[in-house]
Amino acid sequence: MGVRSRLAPAVACILLGLAAAAEIPPGERRSGYEFMSRETRAIQDDDAGNPGMLWVLDGEALWNRKAGSTSRACADCHGDARTSMKGVAARYPAFDAATRRPVNLEQRVNLCRTARQKAQPLAFESKELLALAAYVARQSRGLPINIAIDARSKPFLDAGSETFHRRQGQLNLACAQCHDDHWSGKLAGSPITQAHPTGYPLYRLEWQGLGSLERRLRGCLTGVRAESYPYGAPELVDLELYLRWRANGMKIETPAVRP
């Protein structure tokens, strides 16, 4: 009896430990920044040398440019982005009451363009859309990601989580197998990171340009030889929602630089 009662908590701890091994404990969460070389960090840290700032400056110009048949600029409604957009990107993807599903920052920009400015939506990954998203997200740099989940958005979060944990593609790999279970390892010499989307849209040296989280996700899906979802697909946005929720509390780095 004495031995059993002493063993029982130990066994319980081991079982709990195994169950928790799948998810990264809050204290061990690390941004992709921490996996980078000193040289790459230096590019991100200095606004004078961070090429993502070229897009941010373009975004600032677009913010103040009139567009659409209403001939209104973003600034005509939202004013100075440095105050009005502070912390906004930290909440995205956010639930959109009109479409009754979460939308990401790029989709929100386009919803505003079509509904309020009466302008043509900007193409996904176009320089203009990335510039506006980077400019808006830049205003939240240093603030913690803050995704609030309620009854309306819960099903979409669950769908994103399901995608993250589902094996797919010819390699039959789930996102979680690399980014939850093996983030301390390497893949073809490069660190496997924890997949916390803290700095999007970000400048990737491999891309030689700025890109969105969806571009990165599509790249990963192609990497496991799965068929990628198209830009703006509900599956991708749900996955974005899950990843951002998973990174809740981590600081926004936009425009980040990654190798």
Per the DSSP assignment, residues forming a β-bridge with 211 are 202
Burial of 30 (0-12, 13-18, 19+ CB in 10 A): middle
Q: In the bound complex, what is the minimum distance in angstroms from residue 63's beta carbon to another protein?
A: 12
Catalytic center residues = 220
Tokens for 182?
């093996």
Supply φ then ψ for residue 209, to 5 degrees: -175, 180
The residue among 76 and 206 lying less far from another protein, judged by its C-beta, is 206
Q: Cβ neighbours of residue 207 under 8 Å, at least 6 residues apart?
A: 215
DSSP β-ladder status, 190-191 and 101-103: unpaired
- What does the binding site for another protein look like in residue numbers (CB under 8 A)? 43, 46, 48-49, 51, 53-54, 57-58, 61, 205, 208-209
Chain-centre distance of CA 60, in angstroms?
21
Per the DSSP assignment, residues forming a β-bridge with 173 are 168
The residue among 144 and 259 lying less far from another protein, judged by its C-beta, is 259
